[in-house]
Amino acid sequence: MVWFLRGGRIPVLLLLFCLGLCGSSGLSGCGTGGKPDSGTDQLTGSELEEAERLFFRLTREHSLQRDTEAVAVADVILKQYPTFGRNDEVLILAIDSEVRIGHRERALNLTDQLLQRYPGSPEVDPALARGAELAASVGDSLRGAGYHVSLYDRDPAGQTGPDGRPLASPFLSRLDLDQLTELAAQRPGGAMRPYLGYLQVERMLADDHVAEAEEVVMELEDRAPENVWTLASRDILGGGSGIVGAGLASEVRADLVGVICPLTGRYAVLGNAFFDAALLALEATNTEMGTAFELKVEDSEGNPVAGALAARRLCREEGSIALLGALMSSPTVATAIVADHWQTPLVSPTATNDRIWELGEGIFQTNLTGLYETRMLAALATTVMLKKRFGLMYPDTPEGLRYADVFRAEVEAWGGEIVVEVSFPSRGTDFKDPIMTLRKARPEVLFVPASVDQMVLLGPQLDFYHAGSLILGLSNWNSEKLREKSATVLDRAIFPNDLALFPARWTSEFRDGWNAENYPREASTLALKSYQATRMLLDTIGRSEVTSRVQLSHALRSRLASRDFEAEGPGSFAGTVRMFRSAEIIPFPGGRFTEAWQLTEGAAVDSLQAELLEAAEAAADTSGN
C-alpha cells in the first residue's frame, strides 16, 4: 500500500507483512535494524527480568494516566529490548498515552510500527480500527481509509454488515472522488476494490462523468466479474438502483418527500404535530420558491417494524427522493437502515440517539449540528468579538478531537492563534493539571466541546482555579440542568442555541403560522424542529436542482458542513447564540459589537457588512476633507 505523509506527497510503501514506516516520535522505530521476533521472547535472565520490570512500571504509569512517563518507559523498552515478547502491548499502551497527551501524529506513527512489526498480534485489528478513527480526527482521511481497507482485507466476511456492505461504508462513502481513486489505485487486487469502484461510479455519475464511470465498470468486470458490487456498478451505470439484493424501485420523483411519524398510538399527538409542521413548511417553501413539492406521509405507529415497512414503501413504491422522520429514536433507527439500503437520504430532526447518522452516508440529524456550530463560534469570536488568542480544552474522545481540529482550522483561517491545547479524560473528575496548563498560556477565549455532565464538574474547577478566559461551548449547553448547577460559575459563557443551523426568519415564520393552542408545549417544540428540517430539505432540493438520491445526499452533506453563516451583523447572532448571565440563559448581546463590526477589517473580509463599511469609510473621507 502506498501512503502519503502529511505535509508532503512522499510515497512510502507500507507492506503490512514485510516492510514498513518507522515512527517519527521519540519512541523506537526499527530497533537495531533487524526484524523483531513477534512470536517468542528471546530475552533471558537479567534482561528478561529488567524488561518485565519496566513493563510493569509502564502499565502502572499508564493506568494512573501519567502519560508522559508512560511514553518514556515505552521508549526505553522498545530501544533496549526490541525482542521482548510483549512489545506489541507496549506499543498499544504507548499509543493510548500519546492520544491522551494530544500527540495524535505520534500515535499514528506508533500504530504503523505495530502493524509492520507484529502483523500476527491480536492487537492488530483493534489498532487498525482505532487508527482509522485517529486519522479521521487529524483530517487524514486517506490514511484512515487505508486502515479500514487493511482491516477489511484481513477478514472480508467479518467486516461485512447484514446488508452486504462493508462495515466501514459510512466512512468510505464520505471520501471524495480523488481520494477514492487514489485508494483504489493503491489496492488494485484487494478484496475491497469492487466496493471502492462502486463508490467511484456513484461519484462520477453524480458529476455527469459517464465516460470515466464506464472505464471503472470495465475494470471491475475484468477483475471481479461476479462480485455483487461489480454488478451493482453496472446496474447504476445503466440507470438502475444499484442496490445489492433489492429489486428495482419506482422512478425517483425529485418533487416528492416521504414523511414517517406516529399518526396513531401512544405518540399520535406528537406525530400529528410533526406532520402538521412539515405541511406548514411545505406551503411556505412552495410559495417562496414557486415550486410544487409534495409530501407523502406514512404512519410509523411509534413502532420500529412499522417504521421500517413505511420507509420501504416510500423508497421502493413511491419513489421518494428523501425521507423525513421518524420522530423517536427507535423507529428512526429502523427507518435509517432501510433508507440506507435504498440510498435514500433521511433527515431526522428529533431523534435523540446521537449515533444514528453513523448508519449511512445519507443519514442526517439536524438536531446534532456540532461541526456547524464550531465554525460559527470561531467566526463570532474572531470577526465580531475581535479575539486573537485561543485555547482548546476537549475530552480525549474521537468526537472531542474532531471538534478541536475544526475549531483550530477555523480560528486560524480567520487570523486567530491557538496558544494552548489540552485534553482531559472523558470520565475524569479532577481537572487541575490541564487548567493550570491553560492558565500559563493565558488565552483570551477557551473552546470546550464538552457534554453537560462534564461541564457540571469542569465548570466549578475553571472558576476555582481562575482560568480567566471567555468560555465557548456547543448547543448542548443550552440546558436547564447546566443552568441550574453551573451557570453562576460559567457566567458569560457563550454557546449556540439548538436552531443555529437555520435562518432566524424560519423560526418567525413558524411561530406566525403555528396554532400553539392545538397542541401541548412539548408537541410544539418538536413541531418547530420538524418545520426547520422540512424547510432545509426542500430548500436544498430546490436550490441544488438535484434529480437523484445520490446527488441529494451530496448536496445535504455540503450544506450541513457549510462555513457560511446567515448573519447581517452582530445583532443577528442574538437569534442563534446564547449566554449564561446572572444564572440565566440570555441572547448574545450582539448590539454591543456593532460599531467594531462596521469599522474593522475583519467584518469587511467576512463581507456581511460590506455596504456599511464602505459608507463608514466614505463618511471618514468626507470629514477628513
SS3 content of the chain, % helix, strand, coil (to 5): 55, 10, 35
- Cβ-based neighbours of 608, under 8 Å, separated by 6 or more: 567, 568, 569
Residues 190, 305 within the same domain: no
Question: How confident is the model over 347-365, as a mean pLDDT?
Answer: 85
Question: How confident is the model over 50-64, as a mean pLDDT?
Answer: 91
Higher pLDDT, 515 or 44: 515
Q: What is the pLDDT of residue 133?
A: 84
- Cβ-based neighbours of 550, under 8 Å, separated by 6 or more: 202, 205, 206, 343
The answer, yes or no, to whether residue 94 has pLDDT greater than 70, is yes
The answer, yes or no, to whether residue 205 has pLDDT greater than 90, is no
Question: How confident is the model over 54-81, as a mean pLDDT?
Answer: 92
Residues 298, 445 within the same domain: no
Between CA 258 and CA 551 the distance in angstroms is 17
Q: What is the pLDDT of residue 234?
A: 86
Positive or negative, the Cα torsion across 493, 498, 499, 501? positive
Strands (E), 407-526: 417-424, 445-447, 470-472, 494-496
Residues 287, 163 within the same domain: no
Identify the CATH number of the domain in which residue 352 sits.
Answer: 3.40.50.2300
C-alpha cell at 147: 486502515
Per the structure, the complete domain to which residue 538 belongs is given by 249-367+502-547
Q: Is residue 552 part of a domain?
A: no
Between CA 299 and CA 310 the distance in angstroms is 7
7-11, 110-114, 185-189: the lowest-pLDDT one: 7-11
Reference 384, options 587, 564, 608; nearest CA is 608
Identify the CATH number of the domain in which residue 37 sits.
Answer: 1.25.40.10
Higher pLDDT, 566 or 528: 528
Q: What is the pLDDT of residue 594?
A: 65
Strands (E), 131-280: 253-261
Residues 387, 398 within the same domain: yes
CA atoms within 13 A on the CB side of 370: 20
Question: How confident is the model over 400-405, as a mean pLDDT?
Answer: 88
Q: How confident is the model at residue 421 (pLDDT cuts 50, 70, 90)?
A: very high
Stated as kind and residue range, the H or E segment containing 391 is strand 389-395
Percent of the chain with pLDDT over 70: 83
Q: In what order do the strands lie in the sheet with 346-348?
A: 294-299, 253-261, 320-325, 346-348, 363-365
C-alpha cell at 350: 428529533
Q: What is the pLDDT of residue 612?
A: 32
The answer to whether residues 590 and 572 touch, using CB atoms and an 8 Å cutoff, is yes
Identify the domain boundary among 179, 206, 236.
Answer: 236
Q: What is the pLDDT of residue 55?
A: 92
C-alpha cell at 291: 415550486
Question: How confident is the model over 566-586, as a mean pLDDT?
Answer: 77
Say which residue the cell 519496566 belongs to.
Answer: 54
Q: How many domains does the chain have?
A: 3
DSSP 3-state of 577: strand
Between CA 460 and CA 490 the distance in angstroms is 8
Residues 359, 295 within the same domain: yes
Q: What is the pLDDT of residue 8?
A: 34
Q: What is the pLDDT of residue 375?
A: 86
Per-residue model confidence as pLDDT tens digits over 138-159: 778 888 888 989 889 888 888 8
Q: Is residue 471 part of a domain?
A: yes
Residues 213, 147 within the same domain: yes
Q: Is residue 171 part of a domain?
A: yes
The answer to whether residues 280 and 273 touch, using CB atoms and an 8 Å cutoff, is no
Higher pLDDT, 590 or 428: 428
The answer to whether residues 239 and 263 touch, using CB atoms and an 8 Å cutoff, is no
Q: How confident is the model at residue 241 (pLDDT cuts 50, 70, 90)?
A: low
Q: Is residue 106 part of a domain?
A: yes
**Rounded (10°) CA dihedral 98, 102, 104, 107:** 0
Q: Is residue 73 part of a domain?
A: yes
Between CA 493 and CA 445 the distance in angstroms is 10
Question: How confident is the model over 152-179, as a mean pLDDT?
Answer: 82
Torsion region of 498: left, alpha or beta (phi above 0 gives left; psi -120 to 50 gives alpha): alpha
The answer, yes or no, to whether residue 33 has pLDDT greater than 60, is no
Residues 38, 99 within the same domain: yes
Between CA 476 and CA 341 the distance in angstroms is 31
Between CA 564 and CA 410 the distance in angstroms is 12
Q: What is the pLDDT of residue 379?
A: 87
The answer, yes or no, to whether residue 288 has pLDDT greater than 80, is yes
214-223, 360-369, 512-521, 558-567: the lowest-pLDDT one: 558-567
Identify the domain boundary among 173, 205, 236.
Answer: 236
Higher pLDDT, 504 or 121: 121
C-alpha cell at 548: 437523484
The answer to whether residues 444 and 388 touch, using CB atoms and an 8 Å cutoff, is yes
Residues 37, 172 within the same domain: yes
Residues 153, 194 within the same domain: yes
Residues 110, 33 within the same domain: yes
- Cβ-based neighbours of 191, under 8 Å, separated by 6 or more: 152, 153, 156
C-alpha cell at 111: 500504530
Residues 145, 203 within the same domain: yes
Q: Is residue 553 part of a domain?
A: no
C-alpha cell at 406: 475544526
What is the identity of the amino acid at 497? N
Q: Is residue 242 part of a domain?
A: no
Q: 264 vs 57, 270, 300, CA distance in Å? A: 62, 10, 8
Residues 273, 417 within the same domain: no
Positive or negative, the Cα torsion across 498, 503, 504, 505? negative
User: pTM value?
Assistant: 0.54
C-alpha cell at 53: 520490570
**173-187, 205-219, 255-269, 358-372 — most confident range:** 255-269
Between CA 399 and CA 340 the distance in angstroms is 23
Give helix 124-137 / helix 87-101 axis angle, nearest 10°: 20
- DSSP character at residue 491: T
Q: Is residue 243 part of a domain?
A: no
Identify the domain boundary among 236, 266, 292.
Answer: 236
Percent of the chain with pLDDT over 90: 45
